[in-house]
Amino acid sequence: MSVRETIESKLAAALNPVRLEVEDDSESHRGHGGWREGGETHFNVLAVAAVFEGKSRVARQRLVLDALAEEMAGTVHALSMRCQTPAEATD
């Protein structure tokens, strides 16, 4: 399973999102810190989930980071997150 697929699987289980997008953005960081040949080091995540209701931006991001603790301690160098409730989400 790729790192992207692992991230998707773990966030789906932890957040039960109504929308989840995980983008490997590693190539745009070529030559920068943490970049490795083959990618899977830098990711953008959009998660829309009811579990974020009533939580601050920091608390929402903690939920994501807690679910991905193993990846953040290992292969993932950077993770950009957009965490929204279903009411906040716009297409």
pLDDT tens for the chain, 91 residues: list them.
899 999 999 999 999 999 999 999 875 555 556 555 556 788 999 999 999 999 999 999 999 999 999 999 988 888 999 999 999 997 5
Report the DSSP beta bridge partners of residue 44. 23, 80
| Rounded Cα–Cα distance for residues 80 and 10 (Å) | 16
35 token code pair: 């970049």
| Rounded Cα–Cα distance for residues 36 and 75 (Å) | 9
Contact 68, 3 (CB under 8 A): no
Predicted pLDDT of residue 38:
55
| Domains recognised in the chain with CATH numbers | 3-84 (3.30.300.90)
